A and B are shown apart, each in its own frame.
Chain A
Amino acid sequence: MSQSNKITCPDCGAEMNHHAFKVDYGSDHSATLDPVYGATLKEAHACPRCGRIELRTAGKSKRH
């Protein structure tokens, strides 16, 4: 079960589904560097109604 906050589709207003975590090595990490991955961890969301996709920065991992 997804631990992220749900987001609303900006196109149709439906609740989007969080279906993946993806490390993004290409983006600017200055503000979003995850200490576990050394890059930015992102969440992939998709709208079940219109298919729109979104990628947003996930919360940072905690070091153990």
Chain B
Amino acid sequence: MSDRPLFIPVILGTARQGRASENVAKFVFGEVLKREGVETELIDIRKMKFTTEDAGEAIKDAQFSATCARAAALVLVVPEYNHGYPGLLKHVLDTNLKEYIHKAVGVCGVSAGGFGGTRVIENLLPVLRELGLVTIFWDVNFSGAQKLFDESGGLLDQSYVRRVDKFLGELIWMSKVLRYGRENVSI
């Protein structure tokens, strides 16, 4: 089993102004940072400059692709917009393919309402599967996201610490198993 650290970036999946997902992503990023043997970075899709005049791997961003290639897993923080995922997130994810194959992905759904992005997670799973990613059976659902954090971005509901802990535990386990598989188990 490799002793290289796992690199697990957290991707904030919306560019919307006033996004509640930003506090969620920062919180989850902070939890990933605490994990021994794991390196991470917070990626904000608002800061990416993908053209809308084309799509897919034709518009690859070298830095984002290199980050995904290096990653052992991804954490996606995804708000639910009209029962679906942000179009910009799909546009960004579609720029890679080889970078995702047989890597783990975990999704944190975010909503203003009570379901915590349950629908967006269910809608996103087939997309992730087709990209070659391996989804874990733990999600984190951030309900009523506008009220979960104080004005400085501090988490008000500490139960999310435990929920994210279980989520990350499973994601890290799957990351290790898949890395071993990618590097040692032939098809």
Contacts and interface: CB of A to CB of B under 8 A. Distances in A.
Interface in B135-183: 179, 181-183
Looking at chain A's contact residues, is the secondary structure mostly helix, strand, loop, or mixed? Answer: strand
Interface string B1-44: 01010000000000000000000000000000000000000000
Nearest to B58: A26
Given A51-B2, A51-B4, A53-B69, A22 B101 contact: yes
Interface size class of B (residues with CB under 8 A): 20 to 34
A24 B94 CA distance: 12
Contacts of B97: 22, 24, 26, 55
Contacts of A41: none
A26 B56 contact: yes
B84 interface: no
Interface of B: 2, 4, 56-57, 69-70, 94, 97-99, 101-102, 132, 179, 181-187
Closest 9 CB pairs of A and B: A55-B98, A48-B183, A46-B182, A2-B186, A44-B101, A26-B56, A19-B182, A46-B183, A20-B101
23 contacts: A1-B186, A2-B187, A17-B184, A17-B185, A18-B186, A19-B182, A19-B183, A19-B185, A20-B101, A20-B102, A22-B132, A24-B97, A26-B56, A44-B182, A46-B102, A48-B2, A51-B183, A53-B69, A53-B98, A54-B98, A55-B97, A55-B98, A55-B101
